[in-house]
């Protein structure tokens, strides 16, 4: 019988992934090693593949300690915690799980927008607390109909959000690195797009290149009636500037699924009725997480079968 190849695990793993991968690999969890550096120095060369997620990524010291690494299969569409350019330069293929989570994340963005605009969470508290009986009707809220929706980032998920939003008869604008040649209006100036928008949906990749792309200037341009929705990465939005604008009325509300130092969320945001908070659950449905898990596993199986993969990240496509 052929010995099962070693697979280094970084980050968490779903039960489905654990079940599928343990049948084909000897899975070794890096987190279980009492001395990570010593373990990598002694055994790093044994691994040709690693499995990770968008949070754990692949730290530089781990990549350096694995001279025979050929594949990193990541659970999640975002891979800013992996230096894909450095990996590609070393001949390492990085894969991720695009497409299978487009619908779920887009639905979450729309849900956060509606909840923030109609102040659903605050209304729920009003009903549960007995304020309805004591104080009367809940204050009026803002409609989501016929709004100007600006989308920051217009890849697969951004375009899915646009299609979802058409149900509300909006004007849709988008900001991206280039004009996508689609039916909606391309806005090369993000601040100008924010100024024109009623709601700003953020779904651009994370990483150094987009850090604080949604700056204080952009947030203030959105204005006192505007709503910011972030289902991208917490680093894309200047969180301190966001808090200031919400506190002083410079921004009307927010629906946030991601945060700069998650799982830590600023106490100021927790205290605001005009803000809806979610614990990074954009793709967290049973069905979507199963699809992501299967694709993560399938990339590994395909690679060990014939050297190809299903969904390489753009930086690594030339290696497949």
Active site (catalytic) residues: 233, 262, 280
Q: How many helices and strands (H and E) does the chain possess?
A: 13, 12
Cα angle for residues 160, 238, 78 (degrees, 5° grid) = 40
**Alpha carbons within 13 A on the beta-carbon side of 217:** 7
Cα angle for residues 258, 168, 203 (degrees, 5° grid) = 25
- Establish whether the linkage from the previous residue to 263 is cis, with ω within 30° of 0: yes
Helix, strand, coil fractions of the chain, as percent rounded to 5: 45, 15, 40
- The long-range contacts involving 63-66, CB below 8 angstroms and separated by at least 24 positions, are 63/87, 63/90, 63/92, 65/40, 65/41, 66/8, 66/40
Q: Is the dihedral of CA 241, 245, 250, 253 positive or negative?
A: positive
d(CA 300, CA 108): 29
| DSSP letters for 218-281 | HHHHH-TT-EEEE-S-GGGB-HHHHHHHHHHTSS-EEEES--TBTTB--HHHHT-TTEEE-SS-
DSSP state of 214: B
What would the 3-class secondary structure string for 52-111 be? EECCCCECHHHHHCCCCCCEEEEECCCCCCECHHHHHHCCCEEECCCCCCHHHHHHHHHH
d(CA 248, CA 200): 19
Number of residues in the chain: 320
């Amino acid at each position: 019988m052929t010995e099962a190849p070693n697979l280094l695990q970084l980050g968490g793993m779903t039960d489905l992934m654990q079940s599928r991968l343990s049948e084909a690999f000897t899975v070794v969890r890096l987190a279980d090693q009492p001395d990570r550096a010593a373990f990598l120095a002694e055994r790093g060369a044994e691994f040709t593949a690693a499995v990770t997620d968008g949070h754990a990524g692949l730290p530089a010291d781990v990549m350096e300690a694995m001279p025979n690494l050929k594949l990193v299969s990541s659970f999640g569409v975002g891979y800013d915690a992996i230096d894909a350019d450095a990996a590609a330069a070393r001949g390492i293929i990085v894969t991720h799980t695009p497409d299978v989570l487009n619908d779920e994340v887009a639905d979450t963005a729309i849900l956060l927008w509606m909840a923030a605009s109609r102040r659903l969470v605050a209304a729920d508290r009003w009903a549960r607390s007995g304020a309805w009986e004591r104080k009367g009707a809940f204050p009026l809220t803002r409609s989501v109909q016929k709004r100007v929706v600006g989308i920051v980032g217009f890849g697969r998920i951004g375009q899915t959000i646009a299609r979802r939003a058409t149900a509300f008869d909006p004007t849709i604008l988008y900001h991206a690195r280039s004009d996508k040649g689609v039916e909606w209006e391309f806005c090369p100036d993000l601040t100008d797009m924010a100024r024109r928008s009623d709601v700003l949906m953020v779904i651009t990749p994370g990483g150094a290149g987009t850090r604080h792309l949604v700056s204080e200037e952009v947030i203030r341009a959105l204005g006192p009636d505007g709503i910011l929705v972030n289902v991208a990465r917490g680093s894309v939005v200047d969180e301190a500037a966001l808090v200031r604008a919400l506190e002083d009325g410079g921004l009307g509300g927010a629906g946030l699924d991601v945060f700069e130092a998650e799982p830590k969320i600023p106490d100021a945001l927790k205290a605001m009725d005009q803000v809806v908070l979610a614990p990074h659950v954009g793709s967290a449905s049973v069905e979507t997480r199963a699809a992501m898990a299967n694709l993560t596993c399938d990339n590994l199986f395909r690679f060990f079968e014939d050297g190809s993969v299903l969904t390489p990240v753009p930086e690594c496509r030339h290696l497949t």
